[in-house]
């Protein structure tokens, strides 16, 4: 029982909830952190268009850091591997954070790069694992890793599994991988790490670096246009869920909106993540791997025509069934789309459905939901079956079909009293019953009866 104090507490809590202002999703600028993970293994000393790969990579990376020094809300860091031990030492932990994250630290990165020389192994997996500690703990930051390498893992690690695990832990977003002077087969083995680029020549390497930074820092928007079957932009007010298809967690939830001119809202998204879109109609529409172009104003269009299902009770008060329910399925699919009480209305995608009414016996209606239209489903007012015997026993009620076959409808409570009042749909039925003290199956009693809307049908059971 609720006391007066508890009632006041509930009312006060409800008032505070209603009075609390609704806030838009957080739009404050987030800090972007870019970790350059540079390969300084011995193979980076190989010639590349007139100079060692190492020198070309250091020079272009230093220029890139300089160009980023003026960006707000941006921090850079540099981790290098393979630069402290010679290859013959076979050191698989040769990886070090040379310049920690900080704002406007291009000079520190440039000066450190001057001292780096290519020497040893390629411990990519170990370096990825260590990079997890390089990023400060900040759930609101965008952590970006750019791997620049000319070789594959040389320490028997699994860089692809490691990169995926760190993404799922939200240590960093999907990494960029730039293969220097790489063959195509080399690239295929690194594609699983993240977004792979093949910089076969110096000019391409420069272009790729610029493109990666542009993707990282440029604004990306998505407008989701929901249309009817004729591609008219009429649908709206549906929840849109953008799911990170690496972590499998929702990144954004937006309720679709159209302005007075009928144009869909423009949504800010982070293009460094890959998404599945769930349009939460009933049933939902799912788009895997959204085709989002970084730095662009993307417009995505989906047909989501909807109509309305209205479940209507018959005009009988009170309803003998109590609160009636219905189960909705797409035709040909056993999965439940939605379960609803009668008296409810539900928007559904246009299409063909089966509506199972949980009457006694259950009824199935096949319906077609059409765009912008309401489809009503009801059932006949039930009658009542009254079993008047006090005998304890076992039995069932069957529906008698037109071909005189029978379909199970209801099982009497095992061993209990058969006295019962059941609301049932109009039709012909059969009661099969054996009392608990009967000494054989031959003492089973069978009675046929009919149910009519709004009427009571009494059936008596006698012991044998």
Which residue, chain included where needed, has tokens 């192994």? 121
Q: Is the pLDDT of residue 127 over 80?
A: yes
Give the per-residue pLDDT at 105: 95
Give the per-residue pLDDT at 3: 42
Domain that holds residue 440: 383-459
pLDDT tens, residue by residue, 337-359 = 999 999 999 999 999 999 999 99
Q: Is the pLDDT of residue 245 over 60?
A: yes
Give the per-residue pLDDT at 7: 37
Mean pLDDT of the chain: 89
Which two tokens mark 383?
Answer: 């009658």
Give the per-residue pLDDT at 92: 95
Mean pLDDT of 239-267: 94
How many folded domains does the chain comprise?
A: 4
Instruction: Report whether 150 contacts 179 (CB < 8 A).
Output: yes
Percent of residues, the chain, with pLDDT higher than 90? 75
Do 36 and 137 lie in one domain? The reply is: yes
Give the per-residue pLDDT at 419: 76
pTM of the model: 0.81
* Residue 7 within any structural domain of the chain: no
Give the per-residue pLDDT at 19: 44
Q: What is the CATH number of the domain that holds 367?
A: 2.60.40
What are residue 437's phi and psi, to 5 degrees?
Answer: -95, 5
Q: What is the CATH number of the domain that holds 423?
A: 2.60.40.180
Do 247 and 283 lie in one domain? The reply is: yes
* Residue 24 within any structural domain of the chain: no
Mean pLDDT of 152-163: 92
C-alpha angle with apex 282: 279 to 283, nearest 5 degrees?
80
**Boundary of a domain, candidates 377, 403, 434:** 377
**Boundary of a domain, candidates 254, 270, 303:** 303
pLDDT tens, residue by residue, 72-90 = 999 999 999 999 999 899 9
pLDDT tens, residue by residue, 255-286 = 999 999 999 999 999 999 999 999 999 999 99
Q: Is the pLDDT of residue 430 over 90?
A: yes
Mean pLDDT of 93-106: 96
Do 340 and 360 lie in one domain? The reply is: yes
Do 362 and 422 lie in one domain? The reply is: no
Do 371 and 426 lie in one domain? The reply is: no
pLDDT tens, residue by residue, 187-236 = 777 888 889 998 888 999 999 999 999 999 999 999 999 999 999 999 99
């Amino acid at each position: 029982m609720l006391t007066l104090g508890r009632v006041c507490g509930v009312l006060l809590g409800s008032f505070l909830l209603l009075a609390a202002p609704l806030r838009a999703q957080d739009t404050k600028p987030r800090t972007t952190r870019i970790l350059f993970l540079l390969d300084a293994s011995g193979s980076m000393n190989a010639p590349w268009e007139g100079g060692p790969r190492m020198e070309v990579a250091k020079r272009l990376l230093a220029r890139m850091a300089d160009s980023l020094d003026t960006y707000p809300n941006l921090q850079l860091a540099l981790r290098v591997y393979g630069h402290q031990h010679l290859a013959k030492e076979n050191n698989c932990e040769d990886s070090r954070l040379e310049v920690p994250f900080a704002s406007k630290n291009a000079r520190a990165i440039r000066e450190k790069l001057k001292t780096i020389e290519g020497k040893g192994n390629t411990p990519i997996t170990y370096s990825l694992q260590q990079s997890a500690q390089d990023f400060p703990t900040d759930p609101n930051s965008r952590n970006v890793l750019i791997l620049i390498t000319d070789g594959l893992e040389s320490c028997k690690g699994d860089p692809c599994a490691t990169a995926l695990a760190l993404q799922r832990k939200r240590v960093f977003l999907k990494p960029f991988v730039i293969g220097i002077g790489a063959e195509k087969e080399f690239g295929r083995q690194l594609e699983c790490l993240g977004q792979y680029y093949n910089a076969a020549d110096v000019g391409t390497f420069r272009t790729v670096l610029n493109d990666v930074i542009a993707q990282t820092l440029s604004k990306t928007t998505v407008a989701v246009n929901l249309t009817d079957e004729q591609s008219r932009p009429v649908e709206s007010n549906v929840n849109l869920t953008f799911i990170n298809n690496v972590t499998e967690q929702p990144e954004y939830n937006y309720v679709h909106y159209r302005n007075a001119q009928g144009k869909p809202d423009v949504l800010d998204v982070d293009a460094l993540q890959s998404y599945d879109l769930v349009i939460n109609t009933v049933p939902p529409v799912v788009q895997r791997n959204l085709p989002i172009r970084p730095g662009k104003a993307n417009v995505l269009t989906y047909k989501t025509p909807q109509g309305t299902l209205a479940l209507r009770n018959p005009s009988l008060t009170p309803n003998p069934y109590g609160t009636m329910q219905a189960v909705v399925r797409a035709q040909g699919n056993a999965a439940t789309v939605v379960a609803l009480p009668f008296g409810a209305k539900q928007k559904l995608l246009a299409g063909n459905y089966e509506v199972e009414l949980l009457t006694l016996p259950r009824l199935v209606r096949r319906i077609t939901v059409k765009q912008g239209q309401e489809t009503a489903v009801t059932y006949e007012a039930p009658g009542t079956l009254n079993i008047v015997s006090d005998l304890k026993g076992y039995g069932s009620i069957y529906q008698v079909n037109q071909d005189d076959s029978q379909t199970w409808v209801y099982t009497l409570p095992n061993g209990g009293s058969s006295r019962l009042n059941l609301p049932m749909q109009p039709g012909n039925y059969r009661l099969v019953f054996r009392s608990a003290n009967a000494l054989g199956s031959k003492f089973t009693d069978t009675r046929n009866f009919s149910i009519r809307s709004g009427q009571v049908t009494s059936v008596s059971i006698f012991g044998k």
